[in-house]
Structure 1
Amino acid sequence: MGVGNATGCRAWAGSVSTAADSMICRMRTPFSLTTCAIAAILGLTACATSTGTGETTPTAPSPAVSSPAVQSPQPAASAKVDAKAVLAKLTAAKVGLTRGAVQNEDTDPNNLLGRPNGYTSRASADLPGGDTTSDRYGIDRGLVIEVFPSAADADRRSTYIQGLLKNAPILGTEYHYRTGDGTVLVRVAGRVKPTAAKKIEQAVTQV
C-alpha cells in the first residue's frame, strides 16, 4: 500500500472514529444527565441527615403538645347560717315558736353580740312552758339561738353556762342543742317540757 493509500485509510479511520465517538456521546448524554440529577437529589437528601464527616446528626424530636390541665370542679362552699336563718327554719318546723325576734347590739341582753369571744348573731323566741313575763329576749321565755365563729367557741359558751347552772341550781336548767357544724348553739329553757324540747332537738339536726 502506498503512502497515499495509507494516509487515506488513516483519514477514513479517523472519520469513522469521530463519528462513532459522536454517536456514543449522543447516546450517553441523556443517561449521564439523568444520573447526575439523581445523584444531586440524593446528595441534597444526604446533606439533611449527615455532616461533612459522614456522621449522622440526630434529628431533634418534635415538641410534645401538652393538653390543658382539666381541673376538677370544686365543691361549692356551704353558706354560713346566721341566727335569723336558724330561727326561720325552726319556725317552719312548727315546734311551737312564737314571737321570734333577731337581736342587734342594742337589744342583746348579754352584750356579747359582735364582741370578742362573743357570738356573731343572736335570736330568741317564746315557747310553751316558758315564762312570758320575763325579759323580752331572755332565755326564760323559751328559746335562744346563738351563732359563733367556730364550733370551739360555741362549745366553750355551752360549757360555761352549764357549769354555772350546775353550781347554782336556783338559776334553773337549760337544754343545749348544736347544729351539724357545731357553730350554732340552741338553748331551750328548762321549764319547757321534755317532749317539746325533743322536737326542737330533732328540728335543729335538720338545720
Structure 2
Amino acid sequence: MHRTTSAAASAVAPVVALLTLLTACGNAPSHSPADAREPDRASTRTVGRPTAHGVFQALSAKVRTAALTDTVTAENDPNHLLGRPGEYTSKVTFSDSWVQASQVTGADPGAVERGGAVELFADASDARARAEYLRGIAKSSPALDEYDYVHGSVLVRVSRYLTPKQAAQYEAAAAGLG
C-alpha cells in the first residue's frame, strides 16, 4: 500500500531526478544473479524506482572513503526485513576506510559499524519510522549507536566510529539526494 502525500511526493522528487540523471550516464551490465527486486545490481533503478545501489553510487562519488561491500537480498538479509510491509525495498552495505580495522574486529562484513548502509523505502514515512526505531535501540544500548540521515525515502546509516566531521560528509552527500 502506497501512502501519497504532497510532502512525501515533493521529498522523493529530487531523489528520482538525481537518479534519473545518474541512469542517463550509463552503467556496466551485471553478470551476477540478483534479487528479483533488483534485476540489475549495477542499475540505479528498478522499474521506475531508485535503488539503494544507485543512491550509494551518488554518495560514494562525494565520500571517496566509502566502498560497496554487499547488496542485501531476501536470502542474505540478517534482519529479514527486505520487501516486508513498511520495511526497506532495497539495501546495500559499505565499508569506510576511515574506520580502523581494530575498531571493528569480529564485526560481520556488512555491519554498519564497518562503514554504513543505504536503505531505500517505499515512502518517506517508512524511512523515518526505521530511523526512529534505530535511535530507540541506540538509547537502550549505546554500543549500537550510529549516525542516521533520512532524506525522503532514503535512510543512510553511518558507523559510530566516524568522527562527527567525517559523518557530516555523508549527511551533506545525502542532503544532496533529496
For this structure pair, what is the TM-score category when the shorter chain's length is used for normalisation?
Answer: 0.5 to 0.7
Distance change in 2, residues 1:115/1:144 (3 Å): same
**Structure 2 CA distance, aligned partners of 1:99 and 1:120?**
18
Distance change in 2, residues 1:119/1:133 (3 Å): same
Which aligned segments of 4 or more residues in structure 1 are displaced greater than 3 angstroms? 77-80
Unaligned ranges ≥5, structure 2: 1-15, 18-47
> Which residue number in structure 2 is paired with residue 118 of structure 1?
87
> Which residue number in structure 1 is paired with residue 73 of structure 2?
104
Distance change in 2, residues 1:136/1:82 (3 Å): same
> Which residue number in structure 1 is paired with residue 130 of structure 2?
157
1:177 corresponds to 2:149: yes
1:202 corresponds to 2:172: yes
1:128-166 CA distance string (max 9 Å, x none): 226264112121211111111111111111111101111
Does the Cα contact within 8 Å between 1:95 and 1:196 map onto a contact in 2?
A: no
**Structure 2 CA distance, aligned partners of 1:100 and 1:88?**
12
Equivalent residues, number: 128
1:167 corresponds to 2:140: yes
3-state SS of the aligned residue for 1:113?
coil
Offset, 1:168? 2.1
Distance change in 2, residues 1:133/1:92 (3 Å): farther
**Structure 1 CA distance, aligned partners of 2:175 and 2:64?**
13
Letter in 1 for 2:99: G
**Structure 2 CA distance, aligned partners of 1:85 and 1:99?**
11
**Structure number having the greater helix percentage:** 1
Instruction: Name the Cα RMSD after superposition.
Output: 1.8
Does the Cα contact within 8 Å between 2:148 and 2:158 map onto a contact in 1?
A: yes
Offset, 1:172? 3.2
Distance change in 2, residues 1:132/1:99 (3 Å): farther
Distance change in 2, residues 1:152/1:111 (3 Å): same
> Which residue number in structure 2 is paired with residue 129 of structure 1?
99
Unaligned ranges ≥5, structure 1: 1-76
Does the Cα contact within 8 Å between 2:51 and 2:120 map onto a contact in 1?
A: yes
**Structure 1 CA distance, aligned partners of 2:121 and 2:88?**
4
> Which residue number in structure 1 is paired with residue 156 of structure 2?
186
* TM-score w.r.t. length of structure 1: 0.57
3-state SS of the aligned residue for 2:55?
helix
Letter in 2 for 1:109: P
Q: Which has the larger radius of gyration?
A: 1
Percent identical among aligned pairs is 33
